[in-house]
Structure 1
Amino acid sequence: MLLDKIDAREAALTGEAEQTRAHIDELTARLRELDEAIDHLRITRKTLLSLADGESEAEPAAPPAAVPDHPAYQQILTIFADTGQPLRARDLCQALDLPIVSKNTENIRSKLKRLVSRGILIETEPGLFAQPRP
């Protein structure tokens, strides 16, 4: 009888612990989404400020028509223009203030590969991307 009560209490606590773990996983995913949204806003702010600085000096150049519409591509190209040197996906994650985790580097790498396929960037060696020289 006493062991039955202990078993029932253990089962109830185990169920509650599993629900709590699931809730923590949901909250962790939501926190990750919020952090990513904040990062995107910071990057957008940087991009807009750099574009505003460029407007006062000269007429801004229109982005090539082949650039995908997503703002991340413009941010990537802005970083390439600012650095003027070949970069790896990891370097871009750092420049974009993204955490250096495989999800982010693979996401950036796929965007870089898409830009290479459209002729906007070149891959000078495996994993190293640059703007083509005029």
Structure 2
Amino acid sequence: MSSRRSQRPPAPPSAELPDHPAYQQIMAVFAAAEAPLRARAVCEAMEVEIAPNNINNVRLKLKRLAERGILAETGQGLFTRPRP
């Protein structure tokens, strides 16, 4: 028996946004961004207090989004929406 396989590469893992309001806010910031952003700039855009703990929390969320393919890390600490 021969099975027909499509010539397309396998689908990437599900790029599902984590279920937390902060991720919605982060994606809204990137929807309006015209250039890659760092965690501090995302905090400023979200009107979150600029404190090391807040910046680190946002950075962890950005890295999680990059791991899921929702964002891309174009340089160390620089995040953007992936290009199609």
Unaligned runs of 5+ in 1: 1-63
Structure with the higher helix share, 1 or 2: 1
Separation of aligned partners in 2, 1:65 and 1:126? 21
* Equivalent residue number for residue 47 of structure 2: 97
Residue 128, structure 1, aligned to residue 72, structure 2: no
Residue 83, structure 1, aligned to residue 33, structure 2: yes
Name the count of aligned residue pairs. 71
Unaligned runs of 5+ in 2: 1-13
Residue 70, structure 1, aligned to residue 7, structure 2: no
Please, what TM-score do these two structures have when normalized by structure 2? 0.80
- Does the Cα contact within 8 Å between 2:15 and 2:69 map onto a contact in 1? no
* Offset of residue 65 of structure 1: 5.8
* Offset of residue 77 of structure 1: 0.5
1:99 maps to a residue whose letter is: E
* Offset of residue 129 of structure 1: 0.3
* Offset of residue 84 of structure 1: 2.9
Q: Which has the higher contact order (CA 8 A, sep 6+)?
A: 2
Separation of aligned partners in 2, 1:120 and 1:112? 9
Please, what TM-score do these two structures have when normalized by structure 1? 0.51
Match of 1:90, SS?
helix
Q: For the pair shown, which has the larger CA radius of gyration, 1 or 2?
A: 1
Identity of aligned residues (%): 56
| CA-atom RMSD in angstroms | 1.3
